[in-house]
């Protein structure tokens, strides 16, 4: 045992040290980190949007286009805009940046009218022009627009700049859609949206496309008892083409993302 130990020690002591030539250090380059994709931006032209718990991180700005001075941000009088925004946020899996453009009349709606109400075309035109200047990816308009040439021109200009304009087709039960003038002026970058029920059948109140549509796009989306939320966060449902439109907006955003991959 002692002999073996001494032999190992002797061997170690007689081994000449090995000289290792210096090796040039190779710089370590970190792999590139992919920048996160920016969320698409959608302008919702409506009655204003409340920053509910669900929407607080998604609604980045609100502009009051119908009152000077502007009303308090994110404190709408009516549920409509918040319901539309909530449907969009859910359908887009929260991958959306919402800009609220408030156009409801500060005087409120006449008796029996459904909000949002706005007797003047000017606030709507200002809202469309602001959304265009902001360079949003899409504009959601869940409103019955006046047949005003200034509105039609503003929508056409937005579409000409590559912005998708999504328009509710209206709730009159007609065999032709509402908002047809703006949709045709912005073709092919605009789409009218009708409402179907959960079985895929047209809702009785929806304005339908013409038998042979020409010069405009028309899409069907769920518009009957669509789950959403009110301004105080309560769970509610909405029926009408107003609530079908944000589902089509979300579908457009998804198709654009898929095409980019």
Alpha carbon 10 to its chain centroid, in Å, reads 80
Task: Give the pLDDT confidence score for residue 21 in this predicted structure.
Answer: 52
* Whether 252 contacts 40, CB under 8 Å: no
SS3 80: helix
Percentage of residues of the chain with pLDDT beyond 90: 82
38-260 has which fold?
Rossmann fold (3.40.50)
Residue 111, C-beta contacts closer than 8 angstroms, at least 6 positions apart? none
pLDDT at 19 over 70: no
- Summarised one tens digit per residue, pLDDT across range 191-203 is 999 999 999 999 9
pLDDT at 17 over 70: no
Task: Give the pLDDT confidence score for residue 155 in this predicted structure.
Answer: 98
Task: Give the pLDDT confidence score for residue 33 in this predicted structure.
Answer: 54
Q: Burial-class residue 135 by CB neighbours within 10 Å (0-12, 13-18, 19+).
A: exposed
**Preceding amide of 158 cis, omega within 30:** no
Query: Residues 48-60: what's their mean pLDDT?
Result: 98
Task: Give the pLDDT confidence score for residue 20 in this predicted structure.
Answer: 44
Exposure of 75 in the CB half-sphere (CA atoms within 13 A):
5
Measured CA to CA, the distance from residue 150 to residue 16 in angstroms comes to 93
Which residue did the predictor score with more confidence, 7 or 244? Answer: 244
SS3 122: helix
Beta bridge partners of residue 195, listed in sequence order: 221
pLDDT bin (cut points 50, 70, 90) of residue 258 is: low
Task: Give, as one character, the DSSP assignment of residue 259.
Answer: H
Query: Residues 83-109: what's their mean pLDDT?
Result: 98
Query: Residues 26-36: what's their mean pLDDT?
Result: 55
pLDDT bin (cut points 50, 70, 90) of residue 252 is: very high
Least confident stretch, 22-26, 94-98, 168-172: 22-26
pLDDT at 10 over 60: no
pTM score of the predicted model: 0.85
Residue with tokens 């073996």: 4
- Summarised one tens digit per residue, pLDDT across range 98-155 is 999 999 999 999 999 999 999 999 999 999 999 999 999 999 999 999 889 999 999 9
* Whether 139 contacts 131, CB under 8 Å: yes
Task: Give, as one character, the DSSP assignment of residue 101.
Answer: E
- Give the N- to C-terminal CA distance of the chain in Å, as an integer: 71
Please provide residue 78's backbone torsions phi and psi, each rounded to the nearest 5 degrees.
Answer: -120, 155
- Summarised one tens digit per residue, pLDDT across range 167-185 is 999 999 999 999 999 999 9
Sequence ranges of the domains in the chain? 38-260
* Whether 143 contacts 46, CB under 8 Å: yes
Q: Tokens for 28, please give them.
A: 């370590």
């Amino acid at each position: 045992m002692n002999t073996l130990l001494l032999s190992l020690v002797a061997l170690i002591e007689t081994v000449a040290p090995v000289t290792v030539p210096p090796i040039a250090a190779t710089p370590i380059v970190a792999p590139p980190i992919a920048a996160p994709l920016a969320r698409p931006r959608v302008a919702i032209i409506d009655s204003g949007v409340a920053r509910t718990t669900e929407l607080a991180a998604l609604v980045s700005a609100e502009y009051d286009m119908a009152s000077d001075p502007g009303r308090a941000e994110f404190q709408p009088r009516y549920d409509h805009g918040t319901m539309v925004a909530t449907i969009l946020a859910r359908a887009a899996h929260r991958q959306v940046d919402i800009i609220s453009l408030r156009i409801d009349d500060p005087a409120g709606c006449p008796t029996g009218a459904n909000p949002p109400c706005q007797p003047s075309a000017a606030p709507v035109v200002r809202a469309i022009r602001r959304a265009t200047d902001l360079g949003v990816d899409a504009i959601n308009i869940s409103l019955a627009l006046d047949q005003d040439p200034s509105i039609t021109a503003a929508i056409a200009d937005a579409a000409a700049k590559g912005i998708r304009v999504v328009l509710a087709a209206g709730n009159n039960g007609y065999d032709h859609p509402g908002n047809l003038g703006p949709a045709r002026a912005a073709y092919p970058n605009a789409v009218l949206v009708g409402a179907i029920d959960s079985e895929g059948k047209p809702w009785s109140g929806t304005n339908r496309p013409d038998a042979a549509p020409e010069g405009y796009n028309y899409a069907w989306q769920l518009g009957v008892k669509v789950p959403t939320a009110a301004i105080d966060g309560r769970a509610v449902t909405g029926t009408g083409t107003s609530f079908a439109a944000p589902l089509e907006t979300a579908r457009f955003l998804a198709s654009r993302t898929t095409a980019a991959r």
